[in-house]
Amino acid sequence: MQPPTPPSTAAPHRPSPLSTQLDSTTTHESLASTFSPSSAPSLSQQPIPLSHPYNHNYPTTGQRTEQDEEVAELEQYRQQALQHKSQIDNATQFQPFEGSRVGSPIPDNNGLGWPGKGTLARLHSTEAEKQARQAKLADAVKTLLECIGEDPERDGLIKTPERYAKALLWMTKGYEERLPDVIGNAIFAEDHEEMVIVRDIDVFSLCEHHMVPFTGKVSIGYIPNKFVLGLSKLARIAETFSRRLQVQERLTKQIAMAVDEAIRPMGVAVVMEATHQCMTMRGVQKPGATTITSAMLGAFRRSDKTRAEFLSLIRTQQSGR
């Protein structure tokens, strides 16, 4: 048996230099719009010289084939992803969450990613404060039971408030997790430029509108740019954001932007398919209905072929499945 690996010290959070240019009133929607295709300089505005290694197949007439355009497009995203990284040749100096392509999905200095009003208070709670929080929540559950017409003192319910308080705090544990701590030092220098995909990651979250569960699967893909992320960390990122009160659209976007911020790849793609109990067990009551959302950044957003390849791969059925 191998000796246990000593715990690593996660790098401190360093927001993107460009994130400091964002006004304090910037909304998440406007932040996401910075990833639109129009925000990137066009190839015609930044032509690649004929002496460039990615230009060796270009005809002397200046006309490019479709394959040449794809190569140039990937090179463009490579340069965008590296625009704030001065230590690309020294992997030991690489810091996650520093110098993302455009803006930052983690605008707070604590690396929480879209923290709520009470997130910091919960994150830094002492043990006594945690116990007081749980007791307060249990008292609220007693009130809830009384309001629906139950007796919180009967045998079957006497321990329910305490149990539910513990369960709810666990189901929302994502509020207590910092993304730099989640990823740790699981970022590796690797000369790999093809898609990396982890698909069918189970996610469980609570709808913030009704506080009932929605469950499903998420597939995450990216095109590395000198660095790769430990495969389990993709699932951990999805877990961190799903263990909060959520809507599926925002959850999908947060996962994609966190991966982009961590390793600055040439592109990130996330597709999620989930079933919401707020529309299957109540309201419209349509069991079997699923919701599909996607978030495409970088090369996946601009290139139809790259996006189609990703979508094809995550839909491919494994043999024997």
Of 150, 176, 210, 309, the catalytic one is 210
Cβ count within 10 A of residue 277: 16
Of 177, 207, 239, 254, the catalytic one is 207
Residue 2 annotated as catalytic:
no
* Phi, psi dihedrals of residue 166, rounded to the nearest 5°: -65, -40
Residue 28 annotated as catalytic:
no
Q: In the structure encoding, which two tokens stand for residue 182, read together?
A: 């989640």
Residue 84 annotated as catalytic:
no
Residue 147 annotated as catalytic:
no
Residue 209 annotated as catalytic:
yes
d(CA 316, CA 11): 37
Answer for the pair 266, 77: CB distance below 8 angstroms, yes or no: yes
Residue 56 annotated as catalytic:
no
Mapped onto helix, strand or coil, the DSSP state of residue 252 is helix
d(CA 201, CA 219): 6
Residue 33 DSSP label? G
Of 13, 98, 246, 276, the catalytic one is 276
Of 69, 153, 190, 208, the catalytic one is 208
Of 98, 248, 254, 261, the catalytic one is 248
Place of tokens 């997130």: 119
Q: What is the DSSP string of 250-261?
A: HHHHHHHHHHHH
Q: What is the DSSP string of 104-127?
A: -S--STTS-SS--TTHHHHHT--H
Question: Which residues of the chain form beta strands (DSSP E)?
Answer: 187-189, 196-207, 213-223, 227-229, 245-246, 267-276, 291-298
Counting DSSP H helices and E strands in the chain, the numbers are 11, 7
Of 177, 278, 285, 317, the catalytic one is 278
Residue 73 annotated as catalytic:
no
| Residues annotated as catalytic (active site), given as ranges | 207-210, 248, 276, 278
